[in-house]
Amino acid sequence: MRNLTASGKNIMFFIFSIIFLCILFTSCGQAGRSGAGKKEPEDILSAFTSVTLTQEDNPELDFGLSSHDKDPVIRDFAVTPEGTILILQLSENICEYDFSGNLLGIYRYGLQEQGMTAFRIAAGNDGLLYLLDGRNNSVITVTREKIVQTSVVSWTDLGSVTCFGCDASGRPFLSATDPDVRVEGNIAASFTFVMDVSDVQAVVAEKRPGKSISENSSFQAVSPQDTGLKREMSLKIYRGKNAKKILSISSLDTQEATIAGVNLHGYADGRYLAEIIELSQNSAASDQTDMVTQTYLLIDSETGAYQACECTLGDDPLVRFCGNVSFYLQRGDGRITIAEISSSYSAGRDSEIFDVTAEDCSA
């Protein structure tokens, strides 16, 4: 083979340089498209506002009542880290939608034919979905194609579950009261059980105090008195297993109203959406029955400063979360709306009907 001349070598060097630069720019462009355009789950979820599904536009959904218990067939929902919505129809199927309401798929598992039920759903971050089976007191692990595992829960009755979700690592957890464990005021304690459901027997991988309100936050009602009715109630706020705050709420009502319960429905913009349930005597009623009053407050999670607000959640609302973003499902006549929690309440207004304090907690 003859040696190249100097000019030939220069030409070859120029050609190879051009090829190298083309490859380099192509790789950079692909990396930019895959990296710069990628959004984190929190960014995807926080961009969502609401979507409405109707009987007319979504014939795959049953907006009626179940013959089993006369409650709605549309029993539960979950929002996935990928930015989709899962609608669970009692023991029948799961319908998946994007945030614009477009149907992505319908998943059936033949649960009833196998003697199983499903009344709650949670979505992990690895493509796995989890269903609660009340009939068999078990957790059913599924993909979008098939059942992967059924795991019996032996330490609590799933009928007492107040929260069901997945933590940051994708592990399913449930919150339930434990009648054998009491806190101050003789109140049955709530715990969040993080589970390992890889085998036929579910195992508690981690036990956290309180009812969960996000993937790593929970609250537990505590009381300085031994009675269930009082003019003050406190909540202990946890991050994981660690108690961080004591949130104390006192009624300033001069009509001797008592606080029967406090529930935190969600967390948004550094504030809790708290529902205060008060009982007061109805002097106008002949049998002197108690009047029940619901008041919603937006409470700063650090300072306890609050504002009253109007809220459309209603009784026994479906509030779920994905990560640290809360969502709710609202039912209407032949329609359901899924929205971010802040859509459920009006702008806060100053009020002096309660005294609310937030103190750091070292225990």
Q: pLDDT digits over 157-190, tens only?
A: 898 899 999 998 999 999 987 767 665 555 567 8
Edge-first strand order for the sheet with 120-123 is: 120-123, 129-133, 138-142, 147-152
pLDDT tens string 243-291: 999 999 988 875 667 888 899 998 888 899 999 988 876 655 555 667 8
Q: How many domains does the chain have?
A: 1
The boundaries of the domain holding residue 352 are 221-310+345-363
Distance CA 192, CA 122 (A): 14
Residue 287 Cα to chain centre, angstroms: 41
Classify residue 227: in a domain, yes or no. yes
Is residue 169 a part of any domain in this protein?
no
**Which strand ranges, in their side-by-side order, compose the sheet holding 318-322?**
50-54, 335-340, 325-332, 318-322
Residue 282 in any domain: the answer is: yes
* 233 within some domain: yes
Structure tokens at 166: 């997945």
Q: How far is CA 361 from CA 90, 112, 242, 282, 299, in A?
A: 41, 47, 9, 38, 17
- Name the residue with higher pLDDT: 191 or 222: 191
pLDDT band for position 346 (cuts 50, 70, 90)? confident
- H or E element at residue 220: strand 217-222
Give the model confidence (pLDDT) of 201-214 as tens digits. Answer: 999 999 998 899 98
Q: Please report the pLDDT score of residue 212 as a whole number.
A: 92
Q: Is residue 250 part of a domain?
A: yes
Q: Which helix (H) or strand (E) holds 43?
A: helix 41-46
pLDDT at 188: 63
- The structure's pTM equals 0.83
Average pLDDT for residues 29-57, to the nearest whole number? 71
**Assigned domain for 354 exists:** yes
Query: Does residue 361 sit within a domain?
Result: yes
Per-residue confidence (pLDDT) for residue 356, from 0 to 100:
93
Residue 42 covered by a domain:
no
Question: 3-state DSSP call for residue 49?
Answer: coil
List pLDDT tens digits, range 68-81.
889 999 999 999 99
Q: Model confidence over 298-309: pLDDT tens digits?
A: 999 999 999 999
